[in-house]
Amino acid sequence: MTAHQMAFLVIMLAAVVIRIIYITQLSGSELSGEISIDSEFYRQLAVDILEGSGIPGGALTFNPMYPFFLVMVFAIFGPSLLATRIIQSLLGIVIILLTYLAASNLARGHRDGKLPAGTVSLTAMALAVLYPQFMLYEGMMLGSTLEILLLTAAFNLALYVDRELQGGQPLRLGSRTVPVWLTGLMLGLICGTGALGRPNLFLLLIAAIPVWMIIRYRRISSWLRPTAGFALGAVLILLPPTIYNYSSSGKFVPVTAHGGINFYIGNRPGTHGVYQPPEDVRGEMRGLIADSRAKAEKETGREMTDAEASDYYMQKALDNIRNDPGGWLLLLGRKLVLFWNKVEVHDIPEVLYFQESLPIFSLPFLSFALIAPLGIAGFVIFLRGGNFRSALSVFLGAAHLSILLFYLNSRYRLPIVPLIIIMAAYFAGWLVREVRKKRYRPAGIMLAVAMTIFFLVSSRSIISANRGNVYTYLGTYYMNAGKEQEAARAFEKAYRLDPDRDTSMINYGRVLMLRGEYRRALEIFSRAYSVNPRYPRLAIMYAYTLQKLGRYREAARLARSSYSEGQPADRVTACKILATAAFFEKRPNEAMKWIRAGLKIDPDDRELLRMQRSIRSMPNSPSP
């Protein structure tokens, strides 16, 4: 066995071992079965599809790739979180292998003297193993691992297409040569599948890759075959959801009907380049779509489908850009800096919780702050002598544009990190070669460039993680588990850390209600309601607090609006509040009407049945 093969096996073994430890610790964690609202939506949707319920009506308002991946996993293993995490960890190993393969191909294509391809590829492998965010997301019920896998696989195939069109060796599977049109077809299928999971990135690639092939090889006719294959592969994947969306909404929607609100969030006035929904809409996926549509309907005075609401927010964002182009350019600059900054912007709270609570993450992993400047330096070197410069530039350009057009979070940046890691390894290989050849001046200059980027861009704390979300997540878990005291402490901590967020206010108000501090709870709910008046659950809690303080008429007004908009449980509570208000205002007939309305939703509700018996026992009680 050669030294290279030995190093390869050691790195792979390390990758497997740390994932076994991670899955073991994650499964043994108190919150191992608790997942975010978005993840629960994907899980439940997969279960519903398997049970024959189908997908929700109307145009798709979610990225469909991950739910259908869960359908396949659940069909074999049942709705198991552990099985899903194990499979995603195995896919993480494949990502490391693909990173190794791409790094090897890039190093061998260097035109300015031979680079040590073995060193570059092994270094890229090691960096991928030591970057903890890959492993972290493998344990989450999210599509991030699939997106990283598809992007890395697509990049490898693009390199093979590029190499063959240059007259080099084609892709081979075993002893068979893969025709270039078939390689293009596979590349299109992969990018189309990726678009079903991360449209803001892969749709850009689907547009850019054919243009790249045509421009690069326009002087030779061989570009037509892989380009046609690519287009066919992408269309085969994107056509079904597009037809479904058109038949459901009457609009051309390539993947999902929530791109407009995301574009607006990333470009609206007051945004800082990260995920910041408007103050009066909920932050989780389903709440965001429902609240943003309701807000659009209120602003326009007409009912809208999700697709129409998406178009509305897209146009609204474009109007803002036209009105303040200078401010938008500054925002783009901030997003670009954020892209290369060390911060990992986690928009799913359990991700940050598990990263901070599991012992495996106390190991000396590498942060993005170290990888980023090395990657930039490597890209600069690669542009001078690399043999696949245009292919790499297309992928990096699409990744940057996907952030600049929308907003940065860790999940949006993750798919392109393997390529940044490859560039960092490329820089390391180049640096080794320069030092061995005693070319200290260029080596020193590029080291200085990397250090400058590190200190001026990558290492700075531009934004901080919202730790209040972590304690909201903990509080929700404890509340669902019946641990009210632990939930109260977590919600109180979330409120102290983030007192202006509506969810923090709502949950802290719940804590105060449990303690019987209704006046303080009323103050909190009143402030939260002024931020987000369209949240039915908030209106119900606000109304209940008013009722406990004897302000029945105000409570009834809030409850009446929630009765028509809320979920079944909220509507039942609204009926109780309305019945109580009518009873105390000596209107037993109206009280009975609301009791009947509540029992129609939940015939077994004990409190409504008790209220019904009490009113019927009164003299001159209303008829049943």
Q: What is the pLDDT of residue 110?
A: 58
pLDDT, average across residues 55-69: 87
Tell me if 308 is assigned to some domain.
no
pLDDT, average across residues 377-405: 91
Give the residue from 104, 87, 210, 200 showing the smallest Cα distance to 149.
Answer: 87
In this predicted model, what pLDDT tens digit does every residue of 103-130 receive, in sequence order?
998 888 655 557 788 889 999 999 999 9
In this predicted model, what pLDDT tens digit does every residue of 456-472 receive, in sequence order?
999 888 877 677 788 88
CA gap 374, 450 in Å, rounded: 6
Tell me if 271 is assigned to some domain.
no
Burial class (CB in 10 A: 0-12, 13-18, 19+), 219: exposed
pLDDT at 619 over 70: no
Which structure tokens are listed for 415?
A: 């798919």
Q: Which residue has the higher pLDDT, 1 or 263?
A: 263
Tell me if 108 is assigned to some domain.
yes
For residue 169, what is the DSSP state? P
In this predicted model, what pLDDT tens digit does every residue of 96-109 receive, in sequence order?
999 999 999 888 86
Give the residue from 388, 377, 378 showing the smallest Cα distance to 110.
Answer: 388
Between the CA of residue 140 and those of 27, 32, 567, what are the distances in Å?
Answer: 12, 10, 27
**Phi, psi of 515, rounded to the nearest 5 degrees:** -85, -5
pLDDT, average across residues 159-182: 86
Percent of the chain topping pLDDT 70: 97
Q: What is the pLDDT of residue 254?
A: 84
Q: What is the pLDDT of residue 57?
A: 75
In this predicted model, what pLDDT tens digit does every residue of 342-367 receive, in sequence order?
988 888 888 888 998 999 999 999 99
Q: What is the mean pLDDT of the chain?
A: 88
Q: Which residue has the higher pLDDT, 420 or 607?
A: 420
Determine contact, residues 468/498, Cβ cutoff 8 Å: yes
pLDDT at 551 over 70: yes
pLDDT at 490 over 90: no
pLDDT, average across residues 466-482: 82
Q: Cα Rg for the chain, rounded, in angstroms? A: 28
Q: What is the pLDDT of residue 64?
A: 92
Q: What is the pLDDT of residue 54?
A: 78
pLDDT at 620 over 70: no
Determine contact, residues 61/110, Cβ cutoff 8 Å: no
Tell me if 281 is assigned to some domain.
no
Tell me if 167 is assigned to some domain.
yes
Question: % helix / strand / coil in the chain, to the nearest 5?
Answer: 75, 0, 25
Tell me if 412 is assigned to some domain.
yes
Q: Which residue has the tokens 């940065």?
A: 408
Determine contact, residues 140/350, Cβ cutoff 8 Å: yes
pLDDT, average across residues 521-546: 84
Q: Predicted confidence band at 43 (pLDDT cuts at 50, 70, 90)?
A: very high
Q: Which residue has the higher pLDDT, 276 or 50?
A: 50
In this predicted model, what pLDDT tens digit does every residue of 213-252 receive, in sequence order?
988 887 787 788 999 999 999 999 999 999 988 888 778 8
Which structure tokens are listed for 412?
A: 């949006």
Give the residue from 463, 419, 422, 409 showing the smallest Cα distance to 200.
Answer: 409
Which range of 4-8, 501-505, 527-531, 533-537 scores highest in mean pLDDT? It is: 4-8
The total domain count for the chain is: 1
Q: Which residue has the higher pLDDT, 619 or 49?
A: 49
Which structure tokens are listed for 499?
A: 């007192």
The helix/strand/coil state of 274 is: strand
Tell me if 24 is assigned to some domain.
yes
pLDDT, average across residues 4-8: 94
Element (H, E) at 194: helix 180-195
Q: What is the pLDDT of residue 378?
A: 94
Q: What is the pLDDT of residue 599?
A: 87
Q: What is the pLDDT of residue 127?
A: 97
CA gap 272, 462 in Å, rounded: 10
Q: What is the pLDDT of residue 74?
A: 96
Tell me if 45 is assigned to some domain.
yes
Q: Which residue has the tokens 């009490």?
A: 614
Which structure tokens are listed for 103?
A: 């790094």
Q: Is the pTM of this model over 0.95?
A: no
Give the residue from 61, 49, 46 showing the smallest Cα distance to 245.
Answer: 61
Q: What is the pLDDT of residue 566?
A: 65
In this predicted model, what pLDDT tens digit does every residue of 282-318 receive, in sequence order?
767 777 787 888 888 888 889 888 888 888 999 999 9
CA gap 573, 569 in Å, rounded: 6
Which structure tokens are listed for 195?
A: 């678009």
Residue 163 has a CB neighbour count (10 Å cut-off) of: 21
Which structure tokens are listed for 232?
A: 């066919």
Between the CA of residue 397 and those of 212, 370, 416, 484, 533, what are the distances in Å?
Answer: 12, 21, 10, 49, 41
Between the CA of residue 359 and those of 28, 130, 390, what are the distances in Å?
Answer: 12, 15, 42
Q: Which residue has the higher pLDDT, 37 or 517?
A: 517
CA gap 485, 462 in Å, rounded: 35
166: domain range? 3-255+341-458
